[in-house]
Copies of this chain bind each other. A is one copy, B any other.
Amino acid sequence: MAHAVIIGTVTPPEAMDVSMRGQDEDRVRGFAAFADVEPAVLDGLLEHSFVQTLPKGAVLFEQGDEARFLHVILAGRLGLMARSDSDEETVVEFFAAGDAVIAPAIILDMPYLMSGRVLEEARILMMPAARFRAALAESHALTAAMMRELARHWRLLVRQIKDLKLRSAPQRVGCYLLTLADGSEGAAAIVLPEERRMLAARLGMTPESLSRAFAQLREQGVGGRGREVEIADVGRLRAFCAYDDLA
């Protein structure tokens, strides 16, 4: 089990060398979720926000915590981890640059259902929850952007549920590879953005099963080693996985 770095108390912005830099601001303004928000509202939000750079393993929040910040990922990768009673841990979803984590907890002011762990060194914009909620009340554009963001994400979760209920482990792996290959035809080369054990958890299986799933997929023309994966024929894999555009 990885030793998690717990970020318990947050250093106030003044005390950090990680305050908002121009480059970060540009990134935030470029994100789809904030593109249409009135500059004044966004300025107001950013004024009270700050940026943290967090190492792999850092824990942004724990399952059950009250939501104190909306975390906007500027760079790096995050995992939403759910833990069972028996300390088994699984991944519900990965988040990457441009994602807001986890809006529903902040919007509803309810405790987190999952923990947020840094999987790859990340720069995170921290927006105080109350300020964000105030901005939602003020700005129709921001609310609309959040609504759309949630709607998009809702569909991702539904796809995952369909995946878990209707597909075998090798098919789930194949579908994941296909989403990474994203619409390409014929042969495709992709690189897994995560460690295989994290991918296994996200797909609802053990690392051993993931290994065997990859072994089975060799028959479908899936090869490669380490994080590099090659698909000989995207169409063939798609047929094997019963992959349609709806999942």
On A, residues with C-beta under 8 Å from B are 63-64, 82-86, 88, 90, 92, 103-104, 107-108, 110-114, 136-137, 140, 143-144, 146-148, 150-155, 157-162, 164-167, 204, 242, 244-247
Contacts and interface: CB of A to CB of B under 8 A. Distances in A.
Contacts of A155: 104, 108, 110, 113
* Chain A facing B: main interface SS: helix
Contacts of A157: 154, 157-158, 161
Contact of A82 (B85, B110, B165): B165
Given A92-B162, A104-B155, A143-B143, 6 more contacts: A84-B166, A92-B165, A104-B154, A136-B147, A143-B144, A161-B164
A242 B148 CA distance: 34
Contacts of A104: 150-152, 154-155
Give how many copies assemble into the complex.
2
A86 B242 contact: yes
Nearest to A161: B92
A214 to B, nearest CB: 20
B242 A107 contact: no
Among A111, A112, A143, A244, the most chain B Cβ lie within 10 Å of the Cβ of: A143
Given A140-B143, A158-B92, A166 B82 contact: yes
Nearest to A144: B143
Contacts of A88: 166
A159 B155 CA distance: 15
